[in-house]
Amino acid sequence: MTFTIVILSLLVLILLISYFKVDAFLAFLIVSIGAGVALGIPLDRLPKVVDEGIGAIMGSLTLIIVLGAMLGKLVAESGAAGQIASAMANVFGTRHIQWGLMITGFIVGIPLFYGIGFVLLVPLIFSVVNRYKLPAVYIGLPMLAALSVTHGFLPPHPSPVALVSLFGANIGLTLLLGMCLAIPAIVLAGPVYAKTLKNIKSDPPGMFEQKEINKAYRVPGKANSIITATLPVFLLMIVTLIPLCFTFMNAEAARVMSFAGAPSTVMLVALIVATYTLGIRQGRSIKEVMGIYVDAVKDIAMILLIIAGSGIFKQVMDESGVSSDLAGVMQQVNVHPLILGWLIAAIIRMCIGSATVAALTAASVVMPLTVQSGVNPNLMVLSLGAGSIFFSHVNDSGFWLFKEYFGLSLKDTFRSWSVMETIVSIVGLFGVLLLSMFI
């Protein structure tokens, strides 16, 4: 019965948004409350669940998305985006620029959380798209496929690290094996699959649109443009590596590094730097730069609400215990432990949307089986990671980030984003099974 309620809720959500044209945030709110009632959450508890759902997802994303949008808007309007696109075209050529973006996404994705990497790299995608008039989905999907793979497969991302700890795996070996899976998964789900998406039309928000530069302002140089746009990435890398290199730091130094390494702190520092290097230094007044930032926030207001809506739905699923119920049912399935782990994680992912919850819930189910069967724990970590990113759809905030930033219809988002995530997940499973024959 639980599974039926979840499926019906998702179908109603899709119908409200696509057929009846209900605003996505309102559709999420209506369906989440209805699902909560049907799943037995007490009525007096439901309003708090709604608040917790919004807080849980927006607490970690709001500042990053807002500050990232401000930075992206300034990069676009200052002319820095055009300079970056020109530099990438010089290195890879317009014919192979996809591969350049994909490699960038993989390198950036290893140290950065998915949401941060997405917000930071989308402006680079549109700088190329706008400069060379290329299809946005065709150009952007390989970079985002690389981000998705690092999020699901590779330490130091939260889910793989937690799984390594739970199964007593070796984090270095997991990272090495994950790299072996990541390369074919990214290539097949990125440049290869993206060839079928050249005709998808996108209508992205105007925040990344390059306007004609006023001659009163100077255009930043290539070095300035690239350094400023990628500064958050390098700052996050530095503050992540320092504690690893200097393990003798005292408690006070550790607290300072924790503050300095917080994504919101890094984004704020990067924005302050950009305000000078791409704004004031190029002849703009502080008031004009602030005007650009105000416009950026207006552009993403609806995106923030939609992501909040997906957080409500996820919280309802968590509160009702759906993931535990599904895991219990799947435990009775008689299949290879690696396939079972992937399958449980994939089903929970499709039902509740959260990759991390899917992987960790599946882990609690297959852990005894892993010990009994003698399955390599490193491979089980990767199998669960692959299953946890299977078929991202309307209950996943990543789905809505992609849809709204790229200005796509639901149909085209399913066709591009959801299928890409599915390819990554299935290739990951086959890779794990292949490795299990030799390890």
C-alpha distances in angstroms, 363 versus 168, 177, 359, 370, 379? 12, 19, 6, 9, 12
Question: Taking Cα atoms as reference points, which of 203, 190, 185 lies closest to residue 98?
Answer: 190
Q: Is the predicted pLDDT of residue 172 greater than 90, yes or no?
A: no
Q: Which two tokens stand for residue 427?
A: 């290739």
| Omega of the bond leading into 47 within 30 degrees of 0 (cis) | no
Q: What percent of the chain has pLDDT over 70?
A: 96
Q: How far apart are the C-alpha atoms of 411 and 369, rounded to whole Å?
A: 39
How confident is the model over 17-44, as a mean pLDDT?
94
Q: Which two tokens stand for residue 250?
A: 């005292």
Spatial contact of 264 and 63, defined as CB atoms under 8 Å apart: yes
Summarised one tens digit per residue, pLDDT across range 315-358 is: 998 898 887 787 777 767 788 999 999 999 999 999 888 898 89
Q: Is the predicted pLDDT of residue 247 greater than 70, yes or no?
A: no
Q: Is the predicted pLDDT of residue 156 greater than 80, yes or no?
A: no
Q: Is the predicted pLDDT of residue 124 greater than 80, yes or no?
A: yes
Reported as type and span, the H/E element at residue 105 is helix 97-109
Q: What percent of the chain has pLDDT over 90?
A: 53
Q: Is the predicted pLDDT of residue 56 greater than 90, yes or no?
A: no
pTM over the 0.85 mark: no
Q: Which two tokens stand for residue 154?
A: 């590779």
HSE, side-chain direction, 13 A CA sphere, residue 150:
24
Q: Which two tokens stand for residue 125?
A: 């995608």
Q: How far apart are the C-alpha atoms of 100 and 98, rounded to whole Å?
A: 5
Question: Taking Cα atoms as reference points, which of 393, 391, 392, 394 lies closest to residue 309?
Answer: 394
**Cα(first)–Cα(last) distance of the chain, in Å?**
40
Q: What is the pLDDT of residue 213?
A: 67
Q: What is the pLDDT of residue 166?
A: 86
How confident is the model over 71-75, as a mean pLDDT?
89
Spatial contact of 194 and 141, defined as CB atoms under 8 Å apart: yes
Q: Which of 190-194, 210-214, 287-291, 389-393 has the lowest mean pLDDT?
A: 210-214
How confident is the model over 278-298, as a mean pLDDT?
94
Summarised one tens digit per residue, pLDDT across range 360-414 is: 888 988 887 888 888 999 999 999 999 999 999 999 999 999 999 999 999 999 9
Of the pLDDT bands very low, low, confident and very high (cuts 50, 70, 90), residue 418 is very high
